[in-house]
Amino acid sequence: FYARDAYQCLASVPFNSAVAARFIEYYNTTIQFQSTLAYLRDPPEGYQQPKVDVLEGLAQIQQNSTDGYFKNQYEFEANLQTLIYSMHDMHVDLSAGVLSAFSFASPVYLSSVSIDGKQEPQVYIWDDIVATTSDEWKPSPIISINGENVVDYLTRFAALNSQGTLEPHADWNQLFASPAQDIQAGVNVFGGGATFYPGDNLTFGFKNGTEWPLHWLAIYNNPYNTGPLETGGDFYNYFVLGLLPASYNGSADDSSCSGGSDDDDSDGSGSSSSSKPSWYEASYHAYPSDPDVVQLDLSIAGGGIVTGYFLHDISTAVLSIPSFDQFGDNIGNFSKTVTKFIDSAQKAKLEHVIIDLQQNTGGTPVLAFDTFMQFFPRTEPYAASRRRDHYLANVLGGTTTDFWSSLSPGDDLYDFYYEDLAASEWVVTDRLDAETGKNFSSWPEFYGPREHHGDLFSLPERYNLTSEIFDDEAFDDYFFDSTHSVDPTVQNPFKAENIILLTDGLCSSTCALYAEMMTTQGHVRTVVAGGRPTKGPMQAVSGSRGAIAYWADSLDYDFSLAQLVNDTANSTLPQVRDPGIFTNFAGFTLRDQVRKDDDTPLQFKYLPADCRIYYTVANVYNMSRLWRDAASAIWDDQSLCVADSTSYISAGKTVPAQGPPSIDIQVPSAELGL
């Protein structure tokens, strides 16, 4: 679709203030469980995004709904989604209503690259960069979009549409194509992931004086064959109220109503002409065609994700982990692949290791612990987190923990609930007090409360990784402790100074947990690539640093269970959680990640990489070159790091060289027609 046609459709969807009010009430109850509200309202020094009072923002949207401020459903949802994006937390995600129907896309991808790694990056058409195979042809950079300076335009576009990252450098990186995203069938924000209507025209102006006039596109995200949705009322009934039209045909071919174009020229297999599967074809030849280590079932559609590469000429082994998102047998296969990588690299007598975490937005937490301990088997992984205390959380946790603790073998409910609830977020007696290392004895012991930053919080907790029943339920039947007990007699396979983490700033959730352990406990260094076309530092981990993503529908189930087993909870917790608006998912961060003896959540700490490098024309779609550039910048010539990017504190150090940089903060708005 053309974007203007999709917007005309969205703008025709009527607005019902009563339905909107019901959703705001539902969402306000849900977001009380978000652990960072006080810090978002008053962030500490070094936080690189604007402050936001989320509860006040919801109240204002509620008032605007009542006062007739919104002319249509799109305006209401766009204002709400702008508030949600202003939390800059990848765990905080909402897919609901008419905004879930479309996303907006440039018909061409862009790339932000430096000519030589020293000069500040310029913006190019992605196809031009991929086609640049020799020094003879020089593509012309883009200097304007719709008559506006290209950097200014894209900075505003990123501030509005990039979701969940902690600084503008990472917002910027979300706009551009990436091989590590290609192999996961992902889409960049500018090329298909934009939430808000960007206008109709998209005209690129080039340095060589030429212009390229195009139109913004819209991608229809609903996979179901609903039949025609012909009016704004039809759209409201289906996307807002969740009512199927009379023409719905559940047996029809879902693909007939995709509404989007197929931008992937690969067959999705991840294989090449070699006998061993690889990411070569799926990445437009960016990854090598001959990996030395490959996880079982490697493909975009399969379960495998990990690959390893041996760069013998620089005595470096590269472990590529673009995701920790694994389930079932793939969890064990992931772990075995890391083991094989380490063993094979040692046998090959390779001295250095690069762990490539580009585009890694998280996954299964146990793999962060598992992978950390494979590199540092002598060190017990430490990951403490805490929750925001409030009335509903106290009722829910007290009820569920007491119920679970009361279950005994032979009880009618034991077989049904004991294992199922062992890893529940509301059962704390199967978790450890991070300050004592012992199990909590009760919910009140865990709950506290303790006051920090003008809000109330629980005591810090840790996973009990030695509990088989906890591991089985939390990690899909993968028992961590059976193979990963701390062994002080075992030597680490590589020296810490010979390991680096390579990121693009988008490392989030489980990836952030892994990076935190590797840097603070393992004392490895970090290299971050890309960012805005400016000098200076960039954070290696700018995705969510929260400990756990949680979901509104999970909370609904938790409420219903507590009401079932406890009369007090039944009279206290919300009886029927009706969002009013059909909701695919609504996520939030339930627990902060915190360090030992430090009350500030990691989410609000300024943690720059040890070295920042630019993506270049030569390395942005050539992973072997990128890995060599990262290795050279750390181990050979630190002048290859971006100017003024190495003089700041890194995650693994305790004394800052200087304070965090100041930035020009842009407060986005959902005004139409960027």
- pLDDT the model gives residue 248: 67
- Nearest in space to 369 (alpha carbons), one of 517, 542, 524: 517
What confidence score (pLDDT) does residue 175 get?
99
> What is the CATH code of the structural domain delimited by 104-219?
2.30.42
One-letter amino acid identity for 446? F
Give mean pLDDT, residues 298-327.
Answer: 96
* pLDDT in the model for residue 667: 59
Report the interhelical angle of 552-565 vs 17-31 (nearest 10°): 80
The whole-number pLDDT of residue 655 equals: 44
Give the residue-averaged pLDDT of 190-206: 98
- Indicate if the pLDDT at residue 653 is higher than 70: no
- For residue 304 the two structure tokens come to 């495998």
pLDDT in tens, 101-125: 999 999 999 999 999 999 999 999 9
On whether the CB atoms of residues 13 and 564 are closer than 8 A, the answer is no
Which carries the bigger pLDDT value, residue 26 or residue 225? 26
As a whole number of angstroms, the distance between CA 671 and CA 519 comes to 41
The structure tokens listed for 325 are 């998102």
Q: Name residues whose C-beta falls within 8 Å of residue 639's C-beta, 6 or more positions apart in sequence.
A: none
- As a CATH number, domain 293-381+491-543+601-640 is 3.90.226.10
Question: 506-520: per-residue pLDDT in tens?
Answer: 999 999 999 999 999
Q: What is the pLDDT of residue 524?
A: 98
Mean pLDDT throughout 378-395?
96
| pLDDT given at position 228 | 84
CA distances from 381 to 31, 188, 513 (A): 30, 33, 10
One-letter identity of residue 207: K
Task: Tally the C-alpha atoms within 13 A of residue 668's C-alpha that lie toward its C-beta.
Answer: 31
Q: What is the pLDDT of residue 225?
A: 76
Scored b (16 or more CB within 10 A) or e, 146-164 reads beeebbebbbebbbbbbbb
Mean pLDDT across 413-423: 92
Pick the more confident residue, 246 or 198: 198
Instruction: Say how far apart CA 334 and CA 461 lie, in whole Å.
Output: 27
* C-alpha to C-alpha distances, 512 to 359, 379, 451, 528, 603, nearest whole angstrom: 12, 18, 25, 13, 10
Residue type, 30: T
3-state DSSP assignment of residue 248: coil
pLDDT of residue 658: 63
Query: Looking at the predicted structure, is the pLDDT value of residue 649 above 70?
Result: no
| Paired residues of 586 in beta bridges | 94
Mean pLDDT of 381-400: 97
Of 291, 261, 286, 263, which Cα lies nearest the Cα of 275? Answer: 291
CB 476 within 8 A of CB 328: yes
139/145 Cα distance (integer angstroms): 17
Which residues touch 284 (CB under 8 Å, ≥6 apart)? 130, 179, 182, 266, 621
Between CA 78 and CA 83, with CA 79 as vertex, the angle to 5 degrees is 115
149 closest CA partner among 175, 176, 122, 169 = 122
Q: What is the CA radius of gyration of the chain?
A: 25
Return phi, psi of residue 426, to 5°.
-105, 10
pLDDT one-digit tens code per residue, 241-295: 999 877 666 665 443 333 333 333 332 223 334 468 999 999 999 999 999 999 9
Q: To the nearest whole number, what is the mean pLDDT of the chain?
A: 91
Residue 550 clears pLDDT 60, i.e. is over it:
yes
Going from the C-alpha of 551 to that of each of 89, 132, 361, 589, the distances in angstroms are 14, 44, 17, 9
Which of 161-175, 238-252, 291-305, 629-643 has the weakest average pLDDT? 238-252
Residue 333: its pLDDT value, please?
96
Structure tokens at 396: 């829910």
Residues 82, 194: Cα–Cα separation, whole Å? 12
Q: Which of 549, 538, 479 is nearest to 513 (CA)?
A: 549
Query: What's the token pair of residue 429?
Result: 């007696």
> How many angstroms from the chain centroid is the CA of residue 87?
13
| Residue whose structure tokens are 């759209």 | 235
CA distance 431 to 427: 8
**Selection from 391, 513, 387, 451 nearest residue 35 by Cα:** 387
Residue 672 has pLDDT above 50, yes or no: no
pLDDT, position 596:
95
CA 244/CA 616 separation, integer angstroms: 49
Percentage of the chain exceeding pLDDT 70: 91
Give the DSSP per-residue string, 194-237. B-S---SEEEEEETTS-EEEEE-EEEE---S------SHHHHII
Looking at the chain, the whole-number percentage of residues with pLDDT higher than 90 is 82
For the chain, the structural domain boundaries read 3-102+221-244, 104-219, 293-381+491-543+601-640, 384-485
Of 254-268, 412-426, 449-463, minimum mean pLDDT range:
254-268
| Per-position b or e across 77-98, b if 16+ CB within 10 A of its CB | bbbbbbbbbbbbbbbbbbebbb
Q: In this predicted model, which residue has the larger pLDDT, 625 or 487?
A: 625
- The predicted pLDDT at position 134 comes to 55
For residue 31, pLDDT over 70 is answered with yes
Span 510-536, average pLDDT:
98
Structure-block tokens of residue 420: 């199922």
Spatial contact of 73 and 236, defined as CB atoms under 8 Å apart: yes
What are the E-state strand segments in 260-392?
Answer: 293-294, 307-311, 316-320, 352-356, 384-387
Give which of 101, 84, 1, 95 is closest to 37, Cα–Cα.
84
Dist. CA 131–CA 520, nearest whole Å: 41
